[in-house]
Amino acid sequence: MAKKKVTFECTACGYQTPKWMGKCPNCGAWNSMEETIEQKPTSAKHGVRSESTAKVQKLNDVKQEQAPRILTKSRELNRVLGGGIVQGSLVLIGGDPGIGKSTLLLQMCAELSKERKILYITGEESLNQTKLRADRLEEDASALNVFAETNLEIIHEAVKKIEPELIVVDSIQTIFHPDITSAPGSVSQVRESTQSLMHIAKQMNIATFIVGHVTKEGQIAGPRLLEHMVDTVLYFEGDEHHAYRILRAVKNRFGSTNEMGIFEMKQSGLHSVVNPSEMFLEERSSNVPGSTIVATMEGTRPLLIEVQALVTPTTFNNPRRMATGIDHNRLSLLMAVLEKKEGYLLQQQDAYIKVAGGVKLTEPAVDLGIIIATATSFKDRAVDGLDCFVGEVGLTGEVRRVSRIEQRVQEAAKLGFKRVIIPQTNIGGWTFPEGIEVIGVTSVHEALKYALKS
C-alpha cells in the first residue's frame, strides 16, 4: 500500500510545510497549522494533455454581455451587492453566530422562489428546522426547493437535475468531498468545496451564496484563499442583544465596497431600515455636554450619527483613553491637538468616546465632531442640539476639506438641523439648502468659538 503524504497547512495564509510548527513562518499566525493529506490525482495519466475549448482572443474581440441583475425586495441587500445579484457570481457571507445570516438568505430565497427556481441547501439544520424558521417569516416559502445534504457529489447531481437560478449553501464548513479524507471544515475540505461550487456557478451561470463561520477574531474561518476565490465577501455586524444589524461588503467585483446595509431584526425576520440617520438619532442626547452630531458617508449614503464623549478627572498616573466605534489611536491624536493648540489640560483626565448605535466610523471627516464632543465634556458646556459638524482635523489644528459635502449638508437639512459647521475650503461652487446655516471654519479654535458660543 502506498504511503500517504501528510502535510501541514496554515489556515490563515495557506502556507504548507511537511512538519507542524507553532508559528507560521509566512504570515506569523500562531497555532494555525492543520494537518492535511495530499491526494494523488485521479485524472488522466501523466503526460496526457487535457482538451480545452477556450482560445486566445484580442480584448477588443471579446463580446461584452451584461446580464440583468436579480433584484430582491430588500433595498439594503441590493445596495450592498452593487445593485442586485449578479448571475453566475459567488458570494460569501460571514458573521457571528445568531446574527441573522441564515434568516436573511432564507428570506431572500423565499421571496425569489415565487418567480424563479431557487435551491436552498442546508447542512446544519434538518428540513423540519428549516421549515419552522421559514414559517416565522412574512414571505411565503412554499415554492422553495430545500435540500438537506453535505456530500458535495450528491449536491452536484441535485443542481444538475433542478437547474436553479440561485443556490444557497448553509454553511461551507459542513460540506465535504468524499475523495478527501480530512474532516468537514478542514482547510482542504473548505478549499475543495468552494472550488467545486465556483465551477458550478461559472459554468452553469448560477448565482451562489455560501455561509461561512467566523473565528474568535471575527474573521471567516478557513484559509484566506477562501476570500480570494469568491466574487463578493459580505460581513454581518451587530450585537445579537440589539435589534439593528449592519451588512458590509469588504470585497465586491461587481460594485463598491463602501456601501453599508442596515437591517432591523424583528420576530418576522430582518427588515430594511428606510431612514438610517433618523434611526441613529431617535434617542440622542440633546443640549447636553459631550454630545455632537457628525455627518459621515457610507458609500453613496450620508449618515448623521451621534458622538458622545465623557471627560472626567483620573486618580491614576496614566489617564485612560477608551474609544468605542472609532480608532483608539485617532482619539489620542485628536486629544493631543486639543492640548497643544487649545491649551486644554487633558493629561489628568480620563476620556471615553462612544459612537451611538454601534457604528464604526473610519473616515477622517468625523474628526471635528470628536474634538468638539471632547472639548464640551471637558468644559461642561453643551452645544446646540441642532448643530452638525463635518471636517478633517490636521496635527496643526487646521480643518481640512472633505468629500461629498453637498450630500452631507442636504441630509442635515432634511432632518431639521439649523446649522452645520464645515471646512472653509468646502465653501463655494454649490448651492446651500434652504433652512440651514452653513458656516466655514479654518481651524479647531474657530470651530470651538462657534460651537461654544452662547
* Alpha carbon distance 447, 453 (integer Å): 10
On the 0-12 / 13-18 / 19+ scale of CB atoms within 10 A, 56 is exposed
Phi, then psi, of 308 in degrees rounded to 5: -110, 140
Instruction: Report the distance separating Cα 248 and Cα 235, nearest Å.
Output: 5
SS3 74: coil
Q: Are 373 and 353 in contact (CB under 8 A)?
A: yes
Euclidean distance between CA atoms 126 and 245, whole angstroms: 26
Which residues fall in the annotated binding site? 95-102
Q: Which three cell numbers stand for residue 34?
A: 492543520
Helix locations, 297-327, DSSP H: none
Cell numbers at 302, concatenated: 450620508
For 14, phi then psi, to 5°, come to: 85, 10
The secondary element (H helix, E strand) that includes residue 128 is helix 127-135
Residues making up the binding site for ATP:
95-102
Please give the single-letter amino acid code of residue 28. Answer: G
Amino acid at 44: A
Query: In Å, how far from its chain's centre is CA 220?
Result: 12
Q: Give whole-number Cα distances, 167 to 189, 361, 394, in Å.
A: 19, 34, 49
Question: For the chain, how far is it from start to end, CA to CA, in angstroms?
Answer: 88
Q: Is the dihedral of CA 41, 45, 46, 50 positive or negative?
A: negative
For the chain, give me the number of helices (H) and strands (E)? Answer: 11, 21
Cell numbers describing residue 21: 510548527
3-state helix, strand, coil in the chain (%, to 5): 30, 30, 45
Instruction: Read off the amino acid at residue 303.
Output: L
Contact 299, 256 (CB under 8 A): yes
Integer angstrom CA distances of residue 437 from 78, 164, 387: 35, 55, 9
What H or E segment, with its residue span, contains residue 33?
Answer: strand 33-38
